Amino acid sequence: MSTRVSLLGLAFLAGTALAAEPVRDVTSTAAEREGVALTVYNDDLALVKERRRAELPAGLVRLSLREVAAQMRPETALLRAASGPALALVEQNFDFDLLTPQKLLEKYVGREVTVIRPHPTTDAERRERATVLAAGQGTVLRFADRIETGVPGRLAFDGVPANLRDRPTLSVLLDAAGGRQSVELSYLTGGLSWKADYVASLSADGRSLDLNGWVTLTNRSGAGFADATLQLVAGSVNRVRPNDGRLMAMAAPAPARAKVAEATQEALMDYHLYSFERPTTISDNQTKQLALLSAGAVPTRREYLLAGNDWYYRDRYGQIGQKLKPAVFLEFDNKGGQLGKPLPAGTVRVYARDSKGAAQFVGEDRIEHTATNETLRLRLGEAFDITAERRQTNYRRIADNQSESSWRIELRNAKEEAATVKVQEPMPGDWEMVQESQRHTKESARVASWAVAIPAGGTTVLDYTVRVRW
| Cβ proximity of 209 and 199 under 8 Å | no
CA-wise closest residue to 380 among 303, 293, 309, 439? 303
Q: Region of 164 please: left (phi>0), alpha (psi -120 to 50) or beta.
A: beta
- Greatest Cα pair distance, the chain, in angstroms, is 107
CA distance 248 to 43: 10
| Cβ proximity of 184 and 80 under 8 Å | yes
pLDDT tens digits in sequence order for the chain, 470 residues long: 444 434 334 344 444 444 556 888 888 888 889 999 999 988 789 999 999 998 888 889 888 888 889 888 888 888 988 888 888 888 877 766 566 788 788 888 899 999 998 877 777 888 889 999 998 788 999 999 999 988 878 899 888 776 666 667 888 888 888 888 899 999 999 999 999 999 999 998 889 999 999 999 999 998 999 999 999 887 655 555 545 443 333 333 333 333 434 566 555 545 678 888 889 999 999 999 998 889 999 999 999 999 999 888 888 887 787 789 999 999 999 998 778 888 888 999 999 988 888 899 999 999 988 888 999 999 999 999 999 999 999 999 999 889 999 999 999 999 999 999 999 999 998 999 999 999 999 999 999 999 999 999 999 999 999 999 98
Neighbours of 264 (CB within 10 A): 12
| Cβ proximity of 203 and 362 under 8 Å | no
Residue 76, SS3 per DSSP: helix
Residue 282, SS3 per DSSP: strand
Residue 238, SS3 per DSSP: coil
Residue 183 one-letter amino acid: V
CA distance 332 to 298: 7
- Domains by residue range for the chain, with CATH: 101-156 (2.30.30), 301-326+383-469 (2.60.40.1170)
Stated as kind and residue range, the H or E segment containing 11 is helix 2-20
| Cβ proximity of 156 and 108 under 8 Å | no
